[in-house]
Structures are given as C-alpha cells and as structure tokens.
C-alpha cells in the first residue's frame, strides 16, 4: 500500500458520514394533526376566529331560520313538502357561509398581501376552520333533525340524519376541490350558489319523486357514501394544507 492510498478516506466511513449529514438536514414530514395542533398553539383560536362576531351572527341567523321553518310547518308531512329534499339543500348552508367568510373579509378588507407574508396562508387557516366548522355543523344539523322529529310524528330520524350528513360531507368535499381549483372569491361564491340551485332543481321538477328517492335509498348505501366521503374529505384537507404551505412560501420568495 503506498502513501496515496493511506490518505484516501475509507469509502464506508464516507457513506456513513454522508447519511448522517442528510438525515440531520432533511426534515421529516410532521403528522397532519400535529401540524393542526401546532397551528392552534402558535396562533390560537382568537386569531383563527378573528371574525367571531360575523361567525356568531351567521350561526344565529341560520339557526333561527331553521327553527322558524320547523315551527311554521304543518303537523303532517306530505310528499309535496319534501322535508328530506329541504334537508339535502339546507344542511351545508351554514358550513358554506362560514367557510366563505374569511375569503370575503380578506377581499373587502384587502388583507391578502399581508397574509401571504405570514407564516400561515389564508387557505391554511380556512382549512383549519373548515374542519372545525364541519364538526359544529354536524352537531347543529343533528339538533335540527331532532327538533323536526319532535314536531312531525311521521318523520324518520335516522333517514333524515343520513341525508343531512351525506349532504354536508359531499358539499364539504366538493368545496375543498373548489378551494383548490377556483382562486377568486366570486367563483367560490358561485359554486356555493350552484350547489343550492342544483339541489333545488329536483324539488321544483318532481318533489314527490325526489322525496321517494331519498327515502328508498338503503341506510347501508348512505353509510358507505358517508364513510368514503369522510375519508376523502380528511385526505383532501391534509393535501390542501400541506400543498399550500409550500405554495405560500414559493409565492412569498418570488415576490
């Protein structure tokens, strides 16, 4: 062995040191719910819900409307009234209004430029809020269905709850895709209006047929739709949250 070979470092040792450097330099992706918890700890609910007054007003108005509709309805339900179709339309309304609030306020207050320079983007905060709103809206929808059960003797609680939950999760999932594809506030608002309009068409065309369709769908089918939609909803929320972290950083650096 000559002196030149003695000066060369051992190949295995070089590989080991490179792996150590890479392992220390590369950050492992954090679990999704840990990211959400970190957002909560760093910002706090006070700033996540900085428009708490508007949120409270929206919840109060929609809840009052639901109670008013229940009180003013007749004791007996017939197919022409189509309560299940109304549930299909109205279940995501509060969720949609609350989800649109931060985008509307940022549009009118012109705070998007400031938020893009912050650690968390507007979309990340919106996704975090949407996850919390979906839980709150599910509880409110359950309460609404219970009130309808007290009011109407021929009302089926489980069937109505299935319809309500299916509608809420379907809209929540589709709205997440709209959040990704539609960048303007106006287009997202049009999507929300479009959901209501599309679900109103079957009621206007043939209310009785639409009612029978919602009733005759087996509970098992509803459960499958709810389960699949819920899993896709969580997956999409995680994807939007993580993707928007890198997107926000790139936009901030480029600007």
DSSP type of residue 156:
-
Specify if 14 maps to a domain.
Answer: no
Specify if 6 maps to a domain.
Answer: no
Are 77 and 152 in contact by the 8 Å Cβ rule? The answer is yes
Specify if 205 maps to a domain.
Answer: yes
Residue 243 has pLDDT above 60, yes or no: yes
- pLDDT, tens digit (0-9, with 9 covering 90-100), for 59-110: 888 778 777 776 776 554 444 467 788 888 888 888 888 888 877 776 666 5
Are 230 and 169 in contact by the 8 Å Cβ rule? The answer is yes
Out of 8-12, 97-101, 196-200, 217-221, least confident range: 8-12
Identify the domain containing residue 232 by its residue range: 33-254
Number of domains in the chain: 1
- pLDDT, tens digit (0-9, with 9 covering 90-100), for 203-221: 888 878 888 888 888 999 9
- pLDDT, tens digit (0-9, with 9 covering 90-100), for 113-152: 445 445 666 677 778 888 888 888 898 888 888 887 877 7
At 117 the pLDDT is: 45
Would you state the torsion angle of the CA atoms of residues 52, 55, 61, 62, taken in this order, to the nearest 10 degrees? -150
Specify if 96 maps to a domain.
Answer: yes
- pLDDT, tens digit (0-9, with 9 covering 90-100), for 26-50: 556 667 777 777 777 777 777 767 7
At 113 the pLDDT is: 45
Specify if 118 maps to a domain.
Answer: yes
Radius of gyration over every alpha carbon of the chain, rounded to an integer in angstroms: 25
Residue 202 has pLDDT above 80, yes or no: yes
Specify if 90 maps to a domain.
Answer: yes
* Burial track 68-81 (b if 16+ CB lie within 10 A, e otherwise): ebeeeeeeebebeb
Specify if 4 maps to a domain.
Answer: no
Specify if 98 maps to a domain.
Answer: yes
* Burial track 202-213 (b if 16+ CB lie within 10 A, e otherwise): bbeeebeebbee
């Amino acid at each position: 062995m000559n002196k030149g070979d003695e000066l060369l470092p051992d190949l295995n040792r070089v590989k080991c040191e490179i792996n150590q450097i890479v392992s220390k330099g590369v950050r492992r992706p954090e679990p999704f719910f840990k990211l959400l918890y970190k957002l909560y700890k760093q910002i706090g609910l006070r700033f996540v819900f900085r428009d708490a007054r508007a949120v409270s007003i929206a919840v109060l108005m929609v809840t009052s409307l639901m109670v008013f509709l229940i009180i003013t309805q007749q004791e007996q339900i017939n197919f022409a009234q189509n309560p299940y179709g109304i549930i299909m339309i109205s279940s995501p309304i509060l969720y949609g209004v609350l989800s649109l609030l931060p985008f509307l306020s940022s549009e009118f207050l012109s705070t998007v430029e400031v938020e893009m320079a912050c650690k968390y983007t507007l979309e990340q905060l919106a996704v975090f809020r949407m996850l919390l709103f979906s839980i709150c809206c599910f509880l409110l929808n359950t309460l609404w269905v219970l009130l309808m059960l007290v009011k109407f003797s021929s009302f089926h609680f489980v069937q109505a709850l299935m319809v309500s939950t299916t509608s809420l999760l379907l809209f929540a999932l589709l709205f997440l895709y709209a959040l990704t594809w539609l960048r303007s506030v106006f287009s997202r608002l049009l999507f929300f209006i479009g959901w209501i309009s599309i679900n109103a068409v079957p009621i206007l065309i043939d209310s009785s047929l639409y009612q029978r369709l919602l009733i005759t769908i087996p509970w098992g089918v509803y459960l499958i739709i709810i389960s699949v939609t819920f899993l896709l909803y969580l997956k999409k929320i995680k994807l939007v949250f993580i993707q928007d972290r890198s997107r926000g950083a790139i936009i901030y650096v480029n600007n």
